[in-house]
């Protein structure tokens, strides 16, 4: 008599990533996201962007304070703040951004974020409004210590900061 082993459940290795999460209408909080391994830790942010850009995707997370597990809809995300030190190697040292704009992003609900938009675009489409009108649902806002992935649906307006203001 031959014994057949029962199949083991399929498990996808996950990489934890601690971020600050603001869902629409709620206060920001720390969560640990769990992203499928992609072979290299340098691509974690891209994994988040891929998930956020998918229609009706849900991301698995654990609240850092309560320890509660949840899955939240990418459509409900106002922004995700990722520490810059997790971006080592994300942008090649030889790549330079053509445009740098300091902006204040006013969100629905009355809060705002201050940071820089760093991007490449031809001169005829280099305005901030051109960047905001691109098809992606999220854009990157850079600060001294983190990068915010901001949902355009949560944005009320974007105001360019003038030097000396």
One-character DSSP codes across the chain: ----PPPPPP---EEEEEEEEEETTS--EEEEEEEE--S-GGGHHHHHHHHHHSTT-EEEEEETTT--EEEEEGGGEEEEEEEGGGGTTSS-TT---SEEEEEEEEETTS-EEEEEEEE---GGG-SHHHHHTSS-SEEEEE-SSEEEEEEGGGEEEEEEPPTT-
Domain contains 3: no
In-domain check, residue 5: no
The pLDDT of residue 92 is: 43
Q: Which of 20-24, 30-34, 86-90, 131-135 has the lowest mean pLDDT?
A: 86-90
Examine residue 165 and state whether it is found in any structural domain, yes or no.
no
pTM more than 0.85: no
Residue 30 shares a structural domain with residue 78: yes
Q: Does residue 18 sit in the same domain as residue 77?
A: yes
pLDDT at 96: 65
Residues 75 and 131 in one domain: no
Domain count, the chain: 2
Same domain for 120 and 57, yes or no, is no
Q: Among 42, 62, 85, where does a domain finish?
A: 85
One domain, residues 75 and 38: yes
4-13, 67-76, 100-109, 116-125: range with lowest mean pLDDT: 4-13
Is position 90 within any domain?
no
Residue 91 domain-assigned? no
Which domain does 123 fall in, by range? Answer: 99-141+152-160
Give the tens place of pLDDT for each residue, 125-154.
Answer: 678 898 899 899 999 999 999 999 999 999
Is residue 133 domain-resident?
yes
Query: What pLDDT score was predicted for residue 45?
Result: 42
Report the pLDDT value the prediction gives residue 99, as an integer from 0 to 100. Answer: 77
Residue 123 domain-assigned?
yes
Quick one: 23 and 73 in the same domain? Answer: yes
Q: What's the confidence (pLDDT) of residue 42? A: 47
Query: Same domain, yes or no, for 63 and 23?
Result: yes
């Amino acid at each position: 008599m031959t014994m057949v082993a029962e199949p083991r459940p399929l498990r996808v290795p996950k990489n934890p990533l601690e971020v600050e999460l603001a869902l629409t209408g709620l206060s920001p909080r720390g969560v640990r996201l769990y992203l499928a391994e992609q072979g290299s830790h340098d691509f974690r942010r891209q994994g988040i962007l891929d998930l956020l850009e998918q229609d009706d995707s849900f991301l698995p997370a654990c609240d850092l304070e309560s320890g509660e597990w949840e899955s939240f809809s990418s459509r409900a995300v106002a922004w995700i703040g990722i520490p810059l030190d997790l971006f080592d190697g994300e942008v090649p040292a030889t790549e330079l951004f053509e445009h740098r704009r300091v902006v204040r992003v006013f969100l629905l609900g009355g809060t705002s974020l201050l940071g820089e938009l760093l991007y490449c675009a031809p001169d005829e489409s280099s305005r901030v409004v051109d960047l905001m009108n691109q098809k992606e649902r999220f854009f990157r806002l850079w600060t001294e210590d983190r990068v915010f992935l901001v949902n355009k649906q949560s944005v009320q307006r974007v105001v360019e900061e003038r030097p000396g203001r």
